[in-house]
Amino acid sequence: MFWPLACSRSSRLGLAKAFGGLAFDMNGHMQDRIDERRAAVLLGLPESELRRYSRASGLGHLENDDKGQKVVFTYEELRRLCLLVAQSSK
């Protein structure tokens, strides 16, 4: 099954690289947060479903940028969301 593999610590970095999920700032430093669109791709969920899980669990947080507010996740929050999604699919 895909979810346990995706939720394991060793595979998160590989998945992030495979789906372009690693985000870098203008100086080439890896960011410790990932936006909602990339998070949805990494977890294999539509953005609307990711939002539902995020609101229900309290994971993710709002950040302001030049375009307004957006929801972002840490990789630890993504791991916890992944585990939540995997449990709900059983």
Binned at pLDDT 50, 70 and 90, residue 89 comes out as confident
Q: What is the CATH number of domain 2-88?
A: 1.10.1660
Q: Is the sign of the CA dihedral 17, 19, 25, 30 positive or negative?
A: negative
Residue pair 81/2 in contact by the 8 Å Cβ criterion = no
pLDDT in tens, 75-84: 899 999 999 9
**pLDDT higher for 70 or 26?**
70
Domain boundaries, the chain: 2-88
Phi, psi (5° rounding) for residue 28? 85, 10
pLDDT in tens, 45-56: 999 999 999 999
Taking the model in full, what pTM does it have?
0.65
